[in-house]
Amino acid sequence: MDRRPADAHCACSHTSSVLNGKIYAIGGWNNTALGTLEIFDPATNSWSTGPSMPSPRWDLTSSVLNGRIFAIGGCDAPDSVLGIVEIFDPATNSWSTGPSMPTALAALTSSVFNGKIYAI
């Protein structure tokens, strides 16, 4: 198993998604909420850094839909659960804000089914 490089952010409670043959590690916790986006390319066996999420957080989930990664929910401080949805588009290398969840959730999971993301 390949490991993250020594200079990568050491995080726990992050999420990851696979899109276009790359692995995207998003957010997490390292004594503070992280908004980092680290991208592993197995073809070159290398890591790169993408633009940070606008809302740093941990205990979030992510899913891929229509060529974009949706970062969903999480915490930005102890006892602060979020309903935020932020969307990373690798085609533009940028984040946008999606519609918030009706109920804030952390330590959740998500799946795509019939063209919709379900956060549970």
What pLDDT, in 10s, does the model give residues 9-37?
567 999 999 999 999 999 999 999 999 99
* This prediction's pTM: 0.92
Report CA 21 to chain centroid distance, whole Å. 16
The tokens for 14 are: 């992050």
What pLDDT, in 10s, does the model give residues 60-86?
999 999 999 999 999 999 999 999 999
pLDDT at 41: 97
Q: 53 and 86 in contact (C-beta within 8 Å)? A: yes
Report CA 75 to chain centroid distance, whole Å. 12
| pLDDT at residue 104 greater than cutoff 80 | yes
Regarding the domain delimited by 15-119, which CATH topology (the fold level of the hierarchy) does it fall under?
Neuraminidase (2.120.10)
pLDDT at 1: 46
